[in-house]
A and B are shown apart, each in its own frame.
Chain A
């Protein structure tokens, strides 16, 4: 069955370190998204991509970057982790530019100490 996976599921890192969260989908979806979920804020969009080599900034992109070298993967990199980036991160994908329904991964809980 097609799916979307995230790794690691849990990560503890230190302030200032570079961290990369992986997202892999097997639906062959063109669109991929990264969100963070924080108490009192719901889900906020970090970065998104509509296809290979395409990346765009979302609402809370400062301190994060993404790259899209193939259809299946959209890794999220925290260049220099900060305590404010402690959060739960969700990756999602959707089929096409006319599809609003997004499929979410199980999430990565990141703690920056």
Chain B
């Protein structure tokens, strides 16, 4: 059973517009969430995270929103740039879960110039 779901395999947006990537989870024990970005032939790199005690976290052009009641989080990229084109993975961890991360399947974002 997939505990972290990214239901959109791909997303295409125009440069300068907002990109919204979504993630749903089923395990109510998850209390920390992360987004990773991955370029082809490279390892994933950490992008931004959020604790369950918050509902929003910003870092420059990137904002993550958490809706605990809906078990849903989203990553907003504003404005989107061609260099943002990559696969984005949502990941979650449970307190006391020994820092193991459970990853979604990823969403491939393409930002068109």
Contact = CB atoms under 8 A, between A and B. Distances in A.
Interface of A: 4, 31, 33, 35, 40-45, 48, 50, 56, 58, 90, 92, 94, 97-107
A4 B45 CA distance: 12
Contacts of A48: 98, 100
**Chain A's interface: helix, strand, loop or mixed, by majority?**
strand
Contact of B104 (A4, A42, A98, A107): A42
Given A107-B41, A107-B42, A42 B103 contact: yes
A90 B43 contact: yes
B43 A42 contact: no
Nearest to B106: A42
B101 A100 contact: yes
B49 interface: yes
Interface residues of B, number: 23
30 contacts: A4-B43, A31-B99, A33-B101, A35-B103, A40-B105, A41-B105, A42-B6, A42-B104, A43-B91, A45-B100, A48-B100, A50-B98, A56-B98, A58-B100, A90-B44, A94-B99, A97-B99, A98-B99, A100-B32, A100-B34, A101-B34, A101-B46, A101-B49, A104-B36, A104-B45, A105-B43, A106-B41, A106-B43, A107-B41, A107-B42
A48 B89 CA distance: 20
Interface in B4-38: 6, 32, 34, 36
Interface in B86-113: 89, 91, 93, 98-106
A90 B89 CA distance: 14
Contact of A42 (B32, B45, B49, B89): B89
Nearest to A31: B99
A45 B92 CA distance: 13
